[in-house]
């Protein structure tokens, strides 16, 4: 049996049917070109009969995108099939994908047809499509809930009519992996002419099992998986292409199979689809989520630093990421903290690391994640502690409707205390204006960030400021339950670092 699992990407068709995920023509072309770079085997470019815009998009994909088979979807009707061919006919390689439901539920309530009528219509549709192209795919909609013997009859009949791919959809995500795998095995056993067609599966994720069902089908002989980037699709979505592909690659010892996907293009492709559709990828999403290669637990970080494979079953480079991420937080250990310091260029003694690590743990209890800027500030305060050139003594700020905000600041410079009043656009701006006058420093403030450390009305606010002098940036931080006071502390902290650097440079 063939050792390649073909990837049929339906991001542009089923994926676009996710609420709010519609794409315009240029966006569809961009995604299609990226799918070609990813080296998918088939691009289902859309449902040409659905609208003039969808028809135009499929036609342009067929004209412009080379490499993959370009496929158009069509119901088992003359208009749909003819329209699909019009859309894909200029493709380098074209496919018509026609479908009709085979479950008794759909026959009775949706189609209002008998089993024999549906079988005849399925055969007719494949023959109609076959007049246009040799590459015809037939899907038995809701196959997972169809009578198995009847489903096998339909599959055998459409293969005789010329279908080269037969797709077994779990249209509503109803199947369980063991059950779905047995269904594929049964079809391969009972359909005598099954060797004349590729068995495909199209699984939805209503129970969170789309990828598991697809892989169970592959283990039982399916050689095409229909999927989408980021798992986009109707309702809870489709099987996620990146998960299916990386499972087959990572567990090659189990599957003994491969795909044609250039996996190092996966992350780039995922981001493109997310950016275009506006559907953010959840942080804990497998393979492409922000946390997929991130480690915070101290035990995990320690093991990872000793041997990456202890806590990673695939490398970030294999999907197009530069490296894994050690997230510094309250669960992080000393090993990871030291590694991050060394990454940032710090070479500290064991004693200095111990002191800094204790401060880090206190800070980590207050913040969910520690960023490099936090570490720079922490090291500057704890290891390279500098004397305060500027010391805040008093901060008063007043703001009222219809009046200009004003502030009074008392600050000591090298031990000499000065009081200044100033106005501003807001109370923080007024305080900063007064501090500037006392410090006699016109370096621009290029960053001001406020973050709540705790919840509630008595929350402590943390302010980070960035002051620029030429090409150098000096970061200051301050925390207080009064956000104006926190802002003043952060600004003075940054100015202290700047002034200390200047004096060290000039030797004063």
Q: Hey, CA dihedral for 299, 301, 307, 313, is it positive or negative?
A: positive
Q: How far apart are the C-alpha atoms of 480 and 454, rounded to whole Å?
A: 11
What string of pLDDT tens digits covers the 508 residues of the chain?
789 999 999 999 988 877 667 788 989 999 999 999 999 999 999 999 999 999 999 999 999 999 999 999 999 999 999 999 999 999 999 999 999 999 999 999 999 999 999 999 999 999 999 999 999 999 999 999 999 999 999 999 999 999 999 999 999 999 999 999 999 999 999 999 999 999 999 999 999 999 999 999 999 999 999 999 999 998 999 999 999 999 999 999 999 999 999 999 998 899 889 888 878 788 789 898 877 776 656 667 667 668 777 867 788 788 887 666 555 666 777 777 787 777 666 677 888 888 878 877 777 776 666 666 577 667 655 665 567 889 999 999 998 888 889 999 999 998 899 999 999 999 999 999 999 999 998 899 998 988 765 454 445 577 889 999 888 888 887 877 788 998 999 999 889 888 888 887 766 5
Q: What angle do CA 223, 229, 231 make, to 5 degrees?
A: 90
Q: Which of 129, 98, 100, 125 is nearest to 112 (CA)?
A: 100
Q: Which of 293, 296, 290 is nearest to 316 (CA)?
A: 293
Report phi then psi at 137, rounded to 5: -110, 140
Q: What angle do CA 316, 348, 363 make, to 5 degrees?
A: 70
β-pairing, 406-413 vs 416-423, is antiparallel
Q: Dump the DSSP string for 255-313.
A: H--B----GGGHHHHHHHHHHHH--PPPTT-TTTSTTTTEE--HHHHHHHHH-GGGT-S
The third-level CATH classification (topology) of the domain covering 6-277 is TIM Barrel (3.20.20)
Q: Residue holding tokens 């492709």?
A: 269
Judge contact between 476 and 493, C-beta under 8 A.
yes
DSSP state of 107: I
Tokens standing for residue 296: 């915070």
Instruction: Give pLDDT, residue 458.
Output: 46
Q: How far apart are the C-alpha atoms of 58 and 46, rounded to whole Å?
A: 6
CATH number of 390-506: 3.30.160.270
Cross-strand pairs, 466: 447, 475
Cross-strand pairs, 225: 7, 201
Residue ranges of domains in the chain:
6-277, 294-382, 390-506
Tokens standing for residue 288: 């492409």
Q: How far apart are the C-alpha atoms of 70 and 89, rounded to whole Å?
A: 9
Tokens standing for residue 47: 């449902």
310-319 long-range CB contacts below 8 Å, 24 or more apart? Answer: 313/250, 314/246, 314/249, 314/250, 314/287, 317/264, 318/246, 318/249, 318/263, 318/264, 319/242, 319/246, 319/263, 319/264, 319/266, 319/267, 319/287, 319/288
């Amino acid at each position: 049996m063939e050792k390649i699992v073909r990837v049929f990407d339906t991001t542009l068709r089923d994926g676009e049917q996710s609420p709010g995920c519609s794409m315009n023509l240029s966006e569809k072309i961009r995604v299609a070109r990226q799918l070609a770079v990813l080296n998918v085997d088939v691009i289902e470019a859309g449902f040409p009969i659905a609208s003039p815009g969808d028809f135009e998009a499929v036609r342009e994909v067929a004209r412009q995108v080379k490499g993959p088979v370009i496929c158009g979807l069509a119901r088992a009707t003359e208009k749909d099939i003819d329209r699909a061919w019009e859309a894909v006919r200029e493709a380098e390689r074209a496919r018509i994908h026609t479908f009709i439901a085979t479950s008794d539920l759909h026959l009775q309530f949706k189609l209002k047809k008998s089993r024999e009528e549906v079988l005849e219509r399925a055969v007719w549709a494949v023959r109609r499509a076959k007049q246009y192209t040799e590459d015809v795919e037939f899907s038995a909609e809701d196959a997972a809930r169809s009578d198995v013997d009847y489903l096998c009859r339909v599959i055998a009949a459409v293969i005789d009519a010329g279908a080269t791919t037969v797709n077994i959809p779990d249209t509503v995500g109803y199947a369980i992996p063991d059950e779905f795998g047995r269904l594929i095995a049964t079809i391969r056993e009972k359909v005598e002419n099954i060797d004349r067609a590729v068995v495909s599966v199209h699984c939805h994720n209503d129970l969170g099992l789309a990828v598991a069902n697809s892989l169970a089908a592959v283990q039982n002989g399916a050689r095409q998986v229909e999927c989408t980037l980021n798992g986009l699709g109707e309702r809870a979505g489709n099987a996620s292409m990146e998960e299916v592909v990386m499972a087959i690659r990572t567990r090659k010892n189990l599957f003994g199979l491969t795909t044609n996907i250039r996996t190092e293009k996966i992350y780039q492709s995922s981001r493109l689809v997310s950016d275009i559709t506006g559907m953010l990828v959840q942080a804990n999403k497998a393979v492409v989520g922000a946390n997929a290669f991130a480690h915070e637990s101290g035990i995990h970080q320690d093991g990872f630093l000793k041997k990456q494979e202890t806590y990673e079953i695939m490398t970030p480079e294999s999907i197009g990421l530069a490296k894994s991420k050690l997230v510094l937080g309250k669960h992080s250990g000393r090993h990871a903290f030291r590694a991050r310091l060394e990454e940032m260029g710090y070479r500290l003694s064991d004693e200095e690391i111990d002191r800094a690590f204790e401060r880090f743990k206190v800070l980590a209890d207050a913040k969910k994640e520690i960023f490099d800027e936090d570490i720079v500030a922490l090291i500057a305060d704890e290891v390279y502690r500098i004397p305060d050139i500027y010391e805040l003594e008093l901060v008063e700020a007043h703001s009222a409707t219809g009046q200009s905000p004003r502030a009074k600041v008392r600050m000591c410079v090298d031990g000499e205390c000065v009081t200044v009043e100033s106005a501003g656009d807001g109370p923080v701006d007024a305080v900063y204006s007064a501090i500037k006058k006392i410090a006699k420093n016109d370096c621009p403030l290029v960053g001001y960030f406020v973050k709540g450390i705790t919840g509630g009305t008595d929350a402590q606010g943390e302010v980070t400021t960035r002051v620029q002098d030429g090409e150098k940036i000096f970061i200051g931080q301050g925390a207080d339950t009064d956000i104006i006071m926190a802002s003043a502390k952060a600004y003075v902290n940054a100015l202290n670092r700047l002034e200390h650097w200047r004096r060290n440079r000039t030797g004063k």
